[in-house]
Amino acid sequence: MSSQPDLPDTLLVTLTGKDRPGVTSAIFAALSGVGIEVLDVEQIILRRRLILGVLVTAPREWKKAARVVEETATALGMQVEIERGTGDNRSRRAGRSHVTVIGRPLRASQMAAVAGRIADSGGNIDRIERMARYPVTAIDLDVSGADPEALRPLLAAEAARQGVDIAVQPANLLRRGVRLIVMDVDSTLIQGEVIEMLAAHAGHEPEVAEITERAMRGEIDFEQSLRERVALLEGLDADVLDRVYDDIVITPGARTMVRTLRRLGYRFAIVSGGFSQITDRLADDLGIHFARANELEIVDGRFTGRIVGEVVDRAGKARALREFAEKVGVSQDATIAIGDGANDLDMLNAAGLGIAYNARPVVQEAADTTVNVPYLDTIVYLLGISREEIEAADAEAGIVTPAPPV
């Protein structure tokens, strides 16, 4: 029977103080003179205050090494603590997750509640990193010791109580790989509903809006509702499509999200219960790779009040996601679906990560996670991309980003 190797003596050096160039190099230079090995390092900066933790093997004359580090810290105007112990930094436990918390604002009481639920689940927060500080605050937590599938419903309930958004994702390679993002269009990629905008020109907006709302809540069959609404457009001049397209408002952050993730090789698709005469133009405008929607029948320049071909309904959206994933060459686990209505539910369930975006309650309850802030680029924080990284990439491309509030 083999014996366990002796654990090394270690020193944990924790340095705090005002950040300045050269602090980290000076500490390592001091440590290099006493012949040690570096086992682990963590460094963060908060409001120009540096916190540096270095775990090293303890030399035989460890007190001499401690004095050298203390003298270096004093010369730098920093405070230092040195703790002697045994063993390397422990490995993270099984059950690893990325937990992203988004608030507008994010209060201390809300973070306390989230951390409490993680502790209740047996999880430990190993690392915390800020993803964004405006226009939302997004914080990423690395959690170990809790099954992600068990942690997700626990934190979803807490998110609802606290009025924040929380996403739980397994800590695996998928988060770093190329993925396919499939989006709903109306009230997700764009603000409002195209069919209601068309109906306004036909004088039937109130009736159409009422049917749309019932369909999005899942109270009536989507295909039935679509055909009822399209019938009210009969006789409308098809030139109205140009006017409606010009009036469309893209959801804030949508262009930033697409632009940022395309740089990383992501692929995008839009799948809509709306109309290809609009969605195809949106795809071209935003640089989206695939689009699928219903086609309005037009005869002699006017709407007939009918749909051409098969209706893209709830099941059709899920089929489109699977087909696009196959075209891109990624697994369904590497897909992200974003939607707001009941007809998006199958698509959200088929995706590796289903996101309810400012969605109806029935959708929020069924989705993997929810985002309830009016910025679509918030999605990138769930993928481990920070606001600072987005702005740096935009600056290199000559895109000016508004300055954050002071």
Q: Which pLDDT value is given to residue 60? A: 81
* Residues near 146 by beta carbon (within 8 Å), at least 6 away in sequence: 95, 97, 118, 121, 122, 123
Q: What is the pLDDT of residue 176?
A: 75
Residues 154 and 303 in one domain: no
Specify the pLDDT at position 30.
86
pLDDT tens figures, 319-357: 999 999 999 999 999 999 999 999 999 999 999 999 999
Angle at 400 between CA 399 and CA 401, to 5 degrees: 115
Q: What is the pLDDT of residue 201?
A: 95
Looking at residue 380, its pLDDT comes to: 95
Instruction: Look at strands 165-170 and 249-250 and give their pairing.
Output: unpaired
The reply to whether 160 and 103 lie within a common domain is yes
Q: By CB neighbour count within 10 A (0-12 exposed, 13-18 middle, 19+ buried), where does 297 fall?
A: middle
What's 108's domain CATH number? Answer: 3.30.70.260
Residue 136's pLDDT is 95
Q: Could you tell me the two tokens for 194? A: 């195209």
- 186 and 329 in a single domain? The answer is yes
Q: What angle do CA 138, 140, 144 make, to 5 degrees?
A: 155
Question: Helix count (H) and strand count (E) of the chain?
Answer: 14, 17
Closest CA to 173 of 285, 277, 98: 98
**Same domain flag for 101 and 80:** no
One-letter amino acid for residue 363 of the chain = V
- Using CA atoms, how far apart are residues 379 and 102, in angstroms rounded to an integer? 10
pTM: 0.84
Instruction: Answer whether residue 231 is part of any domain.
Output: no
Residue showing tokens 């980003």? 401
What pLDDT does residue 44 have? 84
pLDDT along the chain (406 residues), means of 10: 56 91 89 83 85 88 87 92 76 79 94 94 91 94 92 93 93 81 97 95 94 88 92 96 97 97 96 96 97 97 96 96 96 95 95 94 91 95 94 91 65
Catalytic residues: 184, 186
DSSP state for residue 308 in the 8-state scheme:
E
The pLDDT value recorded for residue 319 is 97
Same domain, 39 and 162: no
- Which residues make beta-bridge pairs with 371? 357
How many angstroms separate the Cα of 49 from the Cα of each of 76, 78, 137, 184, 388? 13, 10, 20, 43, 18
Q: Partners of 81 in the beta sheet?
A: 14
Residues 187 and 319 in one domain: yes
Q: Which of 156, 146, 157, 152 is nearest to 124 (CA)?
A: 146
Tell me what pLDDT residue 344 has: 96
Residue 1's pLDDT is: 40
Question: What's the pLDDT score for residue 2?
Answer: 42
Question: The tokens of 33 are what?
Answer: 């003179």
pLDDT at position 92, please?
55
The reply to whether 51 falls in a domain is yes
Same domain, 281 and 369: yes
Domain boundary among 141, 171, 201: 171
The total number of structural domains in the chain stands at 3
Q: Which domain holds residue 295?
A: 180-191+249-374
207 domain residue, yes or no: no
* Whether residue 72 sits in one domain with residue 161: no
